[in-house]
Chains A and B, each alone.
Chain A
Amino acid sequence: MEPSQTGGEAPPALRMRGIRKSFPGVLALDGVDLEVRAGEVHVLLGENGAGKSTLMKILSGALRSDSGTIELAGRGVAIAGPAHAQALGIRIIYQELNLVPQLSAAENIFLGCEPTRGFGVVDRARLEREAGEKLAALGVRVDPVRPVQELGIAQQQMVEVAKALHGEARVLIMDEPTSALTESEIEVLFAAIQSLTARGVAIVYISHRLEEVERIGTRVSVLRDGRHVATHRVGELSLAELVRLMANRELKEHFPKRRVARGEELLRVEGLRGGILQDVAFSVHRGEVVALAGLLGAGRTEVARAITGADPPQAGRVSVHGRELALRAPRDAIRRGMGFLPEDRKTQGLVLERSVAENLALPSAPRLSRFGWMKRAAERALAAAAVADLRIKTPSLEQKVVLLSGGNQQKVVLGKWLAADVDLLVIDEPTRGIDVAAKVEIYEEMNRLTAKGAGILMVSSELLEVLGMSDRILVMRQGRIVAELDARGATQEQVLRAALGQAA
């Protein structure tokens, strides 16, 4: 553990000790310590799922820890909720901005605590003057009367910062503040951050951009597997050493991966563009699982949605079995044997209020009907077979899917595509939010599929899952594939380094 060499000085602005938090089936934080001093920019690093956002949610009152203590300037506090955290001087700026686009910068800054002239009449002159002062104090030029929707992203972010600094802000948490900014906008933000630290605000800065650690950070802490791994002054460690600290997660689960001989090419993607995607090209062969790895926002889900027709790509060629697809809608891909398990099964994968049987049969309905009439016996047989094959735990085929557990729901989504006889599956987060036993069953099913000659493209935020369940790993960063690794020889560090843009 990092020795806290405060040596008789004032206590740190923030001290979190032994913070534990578990969610059903997952220990998200396992006794994390974190100390942030007034006037420093404390960079928090960690891989997807390391526990950064859970820790910050606890600090900002959005979640309650199971155990552990929090001190602000040496005084112990029990944070009761977001409003309480705010009253204590803890502010958080999320990655997505939370502004009302139609309101002016000034109105947004004072939203909910407008200065009034009595009887609820807003004192507009004072509102605009004070908002202008706050923005000027951050060293930015933003017209306080303009609607924020007319401002650039960086300016909007400044409005968000000004809003967060209401009253006495002691700790400001910034979650990936630069992810949507251009280089010159980042300069503006960093200048504002420096003016804040000069005023003694303690800043917790979460970022995936390692180069920013050296530019803006004072100290850096690394989280891994819900534990605090190290805290160092910036400059004490090289970026490579930081990456090493973030990687090397413990292999807690056993991945039942079985490798089979790679067969002919099933899917070929060339020159895929649109949104953040830039010239993405890759292929998937029979019998292999290709993993798309990368940080959140790297473009993995966008690739999955583009090639399956969920969001047809602006440009690029997608060929299945050597024939190019005309992708306008998901059915164009499905007709050629491609199934898609979307990222969020509840909003994209299932019709929750309908039965297990109806959900399982949905993509196969054309095959299960003649002249528009459902062949009900065939429909039931198909559903019963899927329930048996995947060991879906349900009291009956008529059970509403909403009443099943997360793991069984995921099996229903998988079952839809097995029943539809696809030989190419695109799976976005195959095991998100499901218990360990169901995870293993999903993995086993992936094995069975590849053994039968299917190909799988797996998008996953779980580094261990990527390494444990794939044959080839494609690492994405900022809309491009930046590395291709053989899963057998690959290490966590290699994948992470590519995802973070740190060339080997």
Chain B
Amino acid sequence: MSAARWLAHQGRQVGTLAGLVLLSGLLSILSPHFLSVSNLLNVLEQTAINAVIAVGMTFVIVSGGIDLSVGSIVAFSGVLLASALQAGLPVPLAVAAGLAAGALCGLLNGLLVTRGRLPPFIATLGMMSVARGMALVFTEGRPVSGFEAGFRSLATGRVLGVPTPVLAAALVYVAAHLLLTRTRFGRYVYAIGGNEEATRLSGVAVRFHKTMVYVLCGATSAIAAVLLTARLNSAQPIAGIMYELDAIAATVIGGTSLLGGSGSLGGTLVGALIMGVLRNGLNLLGVSSFLQQIVIGVVIIVAVLVDSMLKRPGR
């Protein structure tokens, strides 16, 4: 493929990337601290959690669905993992338990959507409340804190100077990108989101693959829970509130259509970075957190507005 064709093909992502570069350039002018290595690593570290959740969200949205329960799943698998650690389970086993909890919530979401024929919005809205409630019941509303150093190093460690959460997020992205673009499962996710009936008539087990998309989304939320719990050295039953909105925002800023059938993880990563950079920059500039909310809201709207305006004419 020629460079020009590649550019045209990747136009949307290049646009988002240009937005990120522009934003970073602007912030580096406004704040001398922005471009420092320590600050940039800080941005990446802070972005890692939302970015990982947005991976699962991207799969769900590409398949034509939505998952509102990711934030609650973060809390639920977090407290489960924390309790397992405090009960003395070895770290790998405890982490596995946390991941299983997230995947199980996702499985329930998926079954409600495919077998129960509930709209994804409703099924995951219910799960949002159920998972949050389970986290609260399980901990009696109290945080579970204090873990061994081995577990904490999952968030505090560095490999070749790179913070482990950043490395973890990078691994998740590479694996998920390959899954979405190189495997049969990925093909089916796009096809189901694009036209579920045509995909079914082509012999694809639509219900199975859709269910798996929600399982995957539950699992990435649980990965985020591991990173969050290790970083805070505490698992809170009220963690992850509003995370679903950040993940959806990163996904749509990254160019994934809420209608399903198109989108990419590269776009989502850039979308998550835009949100992270924006938050960090506004903090550096001393913008109040109240005002930040407005700015972020405007950015989401403008990104999608520009996208739909570019898509509308001439096609």
Contact = CB atoms under 8 A, between A and B. Distances in A.
Contacts of B262: 353
A160 B198 CA distance: 35
B188 interface: yes
Contact of B200 (A330, A354, A374): A330
A374 B201 contact: no
B182 A365 contact: no
A81 interface: no
Contacts of B188: 365
Given A354-B261, A358-B187, A348 B194 contact: no
A329 B208 CA distance: 13
Interface string A334-356: 11000010100001111111100
B66 interface: no
Contacts of B195: 347-348, 350-352
Contact of B197 (A348, A361, A366): A348
B194 A330 contact: no
B243 interface: no
Contact of B261 (A331, A351, A368): A351
Given A331-B204, A353-B261, A348 B182 contact: no
Contacts of A398: 9
Interface string B256-293: 00000110000000000000000000000000000000
B203 interface: yes
Contacts of A361: 187
B201 A340 contact: yes
Contacts, number: 80
A349 B201 CA distance: 8
B198 A369 contact: no
Given A331-B203, A353-B262, A374 B198 contact: no
A366 B184 contact: yes
Given A330-B200, A398-B9, A416-B202, 10 more contacts: A342-B201, A347-B195, A348-B197, A348-B201, A351-B191, A352-B194, A362-B187, A372-B183, A374-B186, A376-B182
11 contacts: A330-B202, A348-B201, A352-B194, A352-B195, A353-B261, A362-B187, A362-B191, A362-B204, A365-B204, A373-B182, A416-B202
Contacts of A331: 203-205
B147 interface: no
Given A351-B190, A351-B191, A358-B191, A363 B203 contact: yes
A330 B184 contact: no
B139 interface: no
B147 to A, nearest CB: 35
